[in-house]
Amino acid sequence: MCIDPNEEVAVPDEQAERRAIDEAKNSLAALVEKLKEIEKASRNKLNIFHAVGMRTQEIRHSAFFAWLLDPQRPHGLGNEFLCRFLNQVLLRENPPTYQNVPPNRVILARIGVHALEDLADFYSDAELEVRTERTLTGNHRRTDIYIESQAAKIVLVIENKVFTTTHDEQLKEYGTELRNIDEGWRGIFVYLTPEGDVPTDNGEPNPDWCILSYSEILQIAKDILAAHSKEFRKKQFVRVKLLLEDYIEMVNFEILDKNREIYALCKQIRRDHADAIEILTRYSDNVNDVYRFCSDWVQTELKDRLENIRTGERQCAFITKPVADFFRRKECPLVLAGERYAFTCAISAKDGPIVALAGLETESGNWSDAQKQIACAVEHRSEIRDRKYHRLFTVVLLEEEDRRKTIEEVSETLKDRLQDFLGKLSRLEIQLIGMP
C-alpha cells in the first residue's frame, strides 16, 4: 500500500480525541430533542408570571402578594384577601416537630389579638398603608411587605423568604425598630416560606414571629376563587380570576415543586443523557471556579481553625477544630468510612443555587450524643428524624441565574455570603466550646 507523504495521518491520541468530540456532539444532539419535550410540557399554558420572570424574583413575589393584601388596589376583592390571611395566621398550628416554638395564637395573644375581630380596626382602616421594601426607622434592612394602620396603631410586617433565608439578627432587629416607632403601637410579624420554616436569628428560633407557608397562601387564593365563582364570570372580574389561577399554578410548579410531568421528564433526561449534561455544565457553568474560590477563601479565613479540608474538582468540604474537639470530648466517632465526617461543612452545587451547608452524617442510622447535642443547639429539637444525613443550616452563595456569570462578577457576593455562613458556624462553635 502506498502512502502519500503529504497526507496527514491521525495519530492514536488524535483519533481518540475526534471520537470523543463526535460522541459529545451526538449526545448533545439527542439532549436537544429531549429538551424540546420539556419546553413543550412547560408552556402548555401561557402564564403571566412566567412571562414577567417572577418565578425566580423574590421582590416580584412580594409586590404581587402586597397587591392582593391592599384593599385599595383594583382587584375588586376589597379587604377579603387580607382578612383571610390574618385569620389563617391566627388559626395555624405548628407541627409536632417544632418543639419550643410558640404557635401563632400564643404570639398574637401577647398583643391582645385572640380572634380576627380583634383586628377589625386594622383591616377596616380606609387609610391602610401597604408598601414593599420599606425601612422601619432608617436602618439599612428593608421589610419585604409592610402594612400600617394609623387608626389601629398596628403594623403588619411580612418577611417573604421564597428562595433565601434570614441572616444575622435580621428578624430581631425588625422587632427592636418597631418598638422605637412610637409608644402604644403593636406589631404583627409573619415569616412566610414555602414550607412554613421556623423563623430564626443566628440559628435561634425567634419567639415573636408567626409562621405561615405558601401552601396556606395558595389555599386562600383557591378559597376566594371558589367563593366567588359566579362573580368571576363577569367581565370586570375575569382578569383577577386569571391572575389568581396563574399565581396558583406558578407557586405550585416553581415554589412548591408540584409539576410532576416535567419532574419525571427531567429525571429521565438526567439518567439517559448524563454525559451530555456533564459537557453542558462543564462549558457553561461557573461552578468549578466557585469551588476553587470557596476552597481558597476557607483555607485563608479559617487557617488557624481548620481540622481538615478536602478540595478538588467540585469538592470543598471541611471541619473545624472546635467542632472536632467537641466530638473528642464526648468520645464520639468523628471519622466515618470513606474519610467522611460525622459533622461536615461543604459547598453543594447539584441543581439550582450554589449553597454552603453544615450537616451531620451517620453510617449505622444511630446518631451519637455529640450529634444530638449539636442538632439541639442549632434547632432546639430533642431528636433527629433523618436516617443518614441531617442538614443543620444552609446559606445560598449564588442564585441559579448567577451560575452563568464570571467568577469576577460574583466574587463579592460569594465573600459576603461565605461570611454569613462563617457567622453561623462560629456561633455554633462558641456553644460547643461551652458544653461539657
pLDDT digits (tens, 9 = 90+) for 260-315: 566 666 677 777 777 766 666 666 678 889 999 999 999 999 999 999 999 887 88
Q: What is the DSSP letter of 258?
A: -
- 9-18, 283-292, 328-337, 359-368: which has the minimum mean pLDDT? 9-18
Inter-residue contact 251 to 216 (CB < 8 Å):
no
The reply to whether 109 falls in a domain is yes
Whether residue 87 sits in one domain with residue 204:
yes
Locus of grid cell 445560598:
396
Reduced to 3 states (helix: H, G, I; strand: E, B; else coil), residue 52 is: coil
- Pair type for strands 143-149 and 129-134: antiparallel
Helix or strand run (H / E) with residue 359: strand 354-361
Q: Domain check: are 251 and 296 in the same one?
A: no
Q: How confident is the model at residue 322 (pLDDT cuts 50, 70, 90)?
A: very high
- Indicate if 247 and 142 belong to the same structural domain: yes
Asked whether residue 406 is assigned to any structural domain, the reply reads yes
Whether residue 247 is found in the same domain as residue 316: no
Q: What pLDDT does 259 receive?
A: 56
Express each pLDDT in 357-389 by its tens digit.
Answer: 999 999 877 899 999 999 998 887 767 877 888
Query: Do 322 and 232 share a domain, yes or no?
Result: no
Q: Is residue 43 part of a domain?
A: no
Furthest CA-CA distance within the chain: 101
- Lowest mean pLDDT, pick from 59-68, 170-179, 356-365: 170-179
Task: Give yes or no: residues 251 and 289 share one domain.
Answer: no
Lowest mean pLDDT segment, chosen from 4-18, 58-72, 218-232: 4-18
Same-domain check for residues 292 and 167 = no
76/174 same-domain check: yes
**36 belongs to a structural domain:** no
> β-strand 186-193 against 200-201: which pairing, if any?
unpaired
Confidence label for 5 from pLDDT (cuts 50, 70 and 90): very low
Looking at 204, 238, 255, which one is the last position of a domain?
A: 255
Across the chain, what does the average pLDDT equal? 83
Domain count, the chain: 2
Are residues 234 and 315 both part of a single domain?
no
Q: Are residues 311 and 225 in the same domain?
A: no
Range(s) of the domain holding residue 317: 284-433
Decide if 93 contacts 103 (C-beta within 8 A). Answer: yes
Last residue of a domain, one of 234, 255, 276: 255
Indicate whether 391 pLDDT > 60. yes
pLDDT the model gives residue 418? 96
pLDDT band (50, 70, 90) for residue 2: very low
The total of other beta-carbon atoms located within 10 Å of residue 341's CB is 23
In 116-227, DSSP assigns E strands to 129-134, 143-149, 154-160, 186-193, 200-201, 204-205, 209-213
Indicate if 222 and 117 belong to the same structural domain: yes
In a domain, 244, yes or no: yes
**Global pTM exceeds 0.85:** no
Task: Tell me, yes or no, whether 68 and 126 share the same domain.
Answer: yes
- pLDDT tens, position by position, 116-127: 999 999 999 999
- Mean pLDDT, rounded, for 207-228: 92
Determine whether 387 is exposed, middle or buried from the number of CB atoms within 10 Å of its CB (0-12, 13-18, 19+): exposed
pLDDT at 44 over 60: no
Decide which of 217, 239, 255 is a domain's last residue.
255
Cα–Cα distance list, 233 to 237, 239, 240 (Å): 7, 10, 10
Residue 138: what pLDDT?
55
CA distance 115 to 97: 25
User: Is residue 86 domain-resident?
Assistant: yes
In a domain, 29, yes or no: no
Higher-pLDDT residue of 31 and 303 is: 303
Q: Helix 274-284 to helix 12-42 angle, to the nearest 10 degrees?
A: 90
First to last CA, the chain: 84
- Which pLDDT does position 18 carry in this prediction? 67
Closest CA to 354 of 279, 280, 407: 407
What is the pLDDT at residue 201? 77
Let me know if residue 18 belongs to a domain.
no
Average pLDDT over residues 242-257: 80
